């Protein structure tokens, strides 16, 4: 199994780091232990992570501030990926922010808080179906394409999107990635993975261990097929779930998040696990678990 792949035309490690969990409860405010959050970020880079997924609306600002305080000046090969299309109110609600002006302000806020002049990739988080409430998809992607032409981002991605939405986006811009929920427990987006495979586009699964809202990690640990394969490889159930994703598609890029250095190291070690045909066959029997809409 290759440990590296591509984000657009850029070489990239296949296991990166998702930074959302570094904020406080509800992805609002500071973490309980800011020093531990910074330690996780620094250890990730020490271990070769070259892909961090974040957003200014995590906190808001909290997570981007932690990344900047911990890692700036950034390693030359570090790719910083963000998303726009959402804003937070004082109560922590997730509200759409999809007008061209709001998308521009979202990108500028990420550039400012991360202290960079250009994002490696900006995902458009689509709130409802292909276009979101009240704003046509061409206007949303057109705003990001304008920013790309201005040199403020390299690649455009889409997140929380239907297959029809991906196909519409492909008619409008070059896509660097698709970011949707997908895991061994939740394969609802398998058709989108297949579309990405056909078009050779990176697919970045969120909830890679199953949704925490539906006790995904606990469900993994209780599944007999996952437990059998984990025992065979002297691995944890979570490591097997990550290795399964890596085996699924060579341009699958993982961004598991954690607030623990121990769990970070465990996640990255999943790249060392080579699942054979017996393993993959056994894992096909894993029971699927429904999920809430992201």
Find how far residue 263's CA is from the centre of its chain.
17
Find how far residue 63's CA is from the centre of its chain.
14
Measured CA to CA, the distance from residue 174 to residue 133 in angstroms comes to: 23
Q: Which two tokens stand for residue 20?
A: 């959302």
Measured CA to CA, the distance from residue 122 to residue 110 in angstroms comes to: 10
Contacts for 103-110 with beta carbons within 8 Å, 24 or more apart? 103/140, 103/143, 103/144, 103/147, 104/143, 104/146, 104/147, 106/56, 106/57, 107/82, 107/144, 107/147, 107/152, 107/153, 108/152, 109/56, 109/61, 110/54, 110/55, 110/56, 110/64, 110/82, 110/84
Q: Which of 57, 58, 72, 249 is catalytic?
A: 58
- DSSP label at residue 188: T
Annotated catalytic, 182?
Answer: no
- Of 62, 179, 54, 52, whose CA–CA distance to 126 is shortest? 179
Active site residues: 58
């Amino acid at each position: 199994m290759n440990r590296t792949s591509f984000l657009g035309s850029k070489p990239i490690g296949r296991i990166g780091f998702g930074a959302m969990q570094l904020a406080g409860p509800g992805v609002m405010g500071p973490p309980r232990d800011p020093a531990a959050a910074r330690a996780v970020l620094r250890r990730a880079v020490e271990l070769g992570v070259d892909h961090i997924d974040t957003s200014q609306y995590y906190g808001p600002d909290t997570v981007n501030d932690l990344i900047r305080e911990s890692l700036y000046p950034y390693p030359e090969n570090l790719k910083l990926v963000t998303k726009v299309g959402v804003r937070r109110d004082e109560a922590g609600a997730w509200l759409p922010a999809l007008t061209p002006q709001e998308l521009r302000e979202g990108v500028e806020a990420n550039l400012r808080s991360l202290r960079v002049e250009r994002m490696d990739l900006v995902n458009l988080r689509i709130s409802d179906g292909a276009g979101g409430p009240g704003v046509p998809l061409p206007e949303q992607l057109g705003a990001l394409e304008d920013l790309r032409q201005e040199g403020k981002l390299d690649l455009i991605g889409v997140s929380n999107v239907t297959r029809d939405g991906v196909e519409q986006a492909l008619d409008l811009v070059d896509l660097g990635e698709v970011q949707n929920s997908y895991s061994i427990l939740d394969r609802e987006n398998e058709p989108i993975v297949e579309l990405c495979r056909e078009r050779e586009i990176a697919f970045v699964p969120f909830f890679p261990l199953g949704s925490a809202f539906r006790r995904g990690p606990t469900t993994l640990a209780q599944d007999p097929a996952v437990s059998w394969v984990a025992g065979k490889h002297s691995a944890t159930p979570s490591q097997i779930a990550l290795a399964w994703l890596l085996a699924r598609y060579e341009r699958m890029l993982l961004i598991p998040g954690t607030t623990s250095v121990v769990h970070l190291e465990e996640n990255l070690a999943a790249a060392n696990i080579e699942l054979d045909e017996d393993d993959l066959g056994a894992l096909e029997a894993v029971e699927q678990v429904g999920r809430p809409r992201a």
